[in-house]
């Protein structure tokens, strides 16, 4: 049986629903040594800023029960170095190129979007949710007015598809998703990491030098699923689900809950070839259920009344 894994999300047609999440896959160079990246739906670049960043001081990663905390702090080469050295590589991988940009102000996002608008990329992912920097990102994404201002300003300077990556660290994720959709986003990405902390009781210190970090991995999957399902009931634009996806069953859970595509993050750090196994297992699972197109599963969850 031929299984069609192709999906469309946020103005981008992809051969697979599997996107590699920003910050867990670099620009794809390291993973290119392990398998043919063309099997992927796309790669979301490391979060980029206007100027290069070294990120936060170490320690900046810590293992936790069923997950991990990170406070990398957007270490990246800057938008200009990316365009010169990394984008050419990403464009020849055979999958879609999604560029993640993170700003401290509206002007930052606009400046980077202007640089990207004439480049051969497939979508711009607005990082409105990184919890590991002291200004911008999550602070913008936690305020529907600021979120609206950023998306509208970026929409005014580019016709590229815009994906808004939202933070779960808010009272109402639906309010933020509706604001993003109304402002002109082509898709919302749910969810980025949850704010957390790990401590060493012997030293009486947080393990991370930044004190707090973003929790990812299987521990956050139930929260992410709930938010995807909630937002699916409220917006008409596609949702890209992310949060604790380790296996094919996780992918299908997110799609049934309302996601048109998904992003794989922490799983890449556990197993560099996670996407290869997930792709194989998706075909096996769909075949057993006599399902020929994975896209037909999106939004089929039947909530109890």
Rounded distance between C-alpha atoms, residue 229 and residue 259, angstroms: 8
The CA R_g of the chain, rounded to the nearest whole Å, is 18
- CA-CA-CA-CA dihedral for 131, 132, 133, 135, to nearest 10: 20
Tell me the β-bridge partners of 199.
206
First to last CA, the chain: 36
Tell me the β-bridge partners of 164.
126, 188
Peptide bond into 59 cis (omega under 30): yes
Exposed (0-12), middle (13-18) or buried (19+): which is 283, by Cβ within 10 Å?
middle
**Nearest residue to 32 (alpha-carbon basis) of 228, 273, 263:** 273
Active site residues: 130
The length of the chain is 305
Rounded distance between C-alpha atoms, residue 109 and residue 85, angstroms: 21
Handedness of CA 163, 169, 172, 175 (dihedral sign): negative
Tell me the β-bridge partners of 71.
none
Would you say 192 and 168 are in contact if contact means Cβ atoms under 8 Å apart? yes
């Amino acid at each position: 049986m031929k299984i069609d894994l192709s999906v469309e999300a946020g103005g981008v047609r992809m051969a697979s629903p599997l996107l590699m999440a920003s910050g867990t896959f670099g620009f794809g160079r390291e993973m290119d040594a392990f398998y043919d990246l063309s099997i992927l739906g796309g790669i979301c670049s490391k979060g980029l800023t206007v100027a290069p960043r070294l990120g936060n001081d170490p320690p900046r990663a810590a293992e936790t029960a069923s997950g991990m905390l990170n406070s990398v702090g957007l270490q990246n080469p800057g938008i200009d170095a990316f365009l010169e050295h990394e984008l050419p590589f990403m464009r020849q991988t055979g999958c879609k190129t999604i560029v993640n940009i993170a700003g401290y102000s509206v002007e930052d996002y606009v400046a980077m979007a202007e640089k990207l608008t004439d480049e051969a990329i497939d979508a711009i992912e607005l990082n409105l949710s990184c919890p590991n920097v002291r200004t911008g990102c999550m602070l913008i994404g936690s305020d529907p007015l600021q979120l609206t201002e950023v998306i509208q300003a970026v929409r005014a300077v580019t016709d590229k598809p815009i994906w808004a990556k939202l933070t779960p660290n808010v009272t109402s994720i639906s309010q933020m998703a509706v604001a993003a959709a109304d402002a002109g986003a082509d898709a919302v990405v749910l969810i980025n990491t949850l704010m957390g902390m790990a401590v060493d009781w012997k030293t009486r210190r947080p393990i991370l030098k930044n004190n707090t970090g973003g929790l990812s991995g299987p521990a956050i999957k139930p929260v992410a699923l709930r938010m995807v399902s909630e937002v699916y009931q409220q917006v008409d634009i596609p949702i890209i689900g992310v949060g604790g996806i380790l296996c094919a069953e996780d992918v299908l859970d997110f799609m049934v809950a309302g996601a048109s595509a998904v992003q794989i993050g922490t799983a890449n750090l556990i197993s560099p070839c996670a996407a290869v196994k997930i792709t194989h297992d998706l075909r096996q699972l769909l075949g057993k259920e006599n399902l020929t197109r994975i896209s037909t599963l999106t939004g089929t969850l039947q909530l109890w009344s």
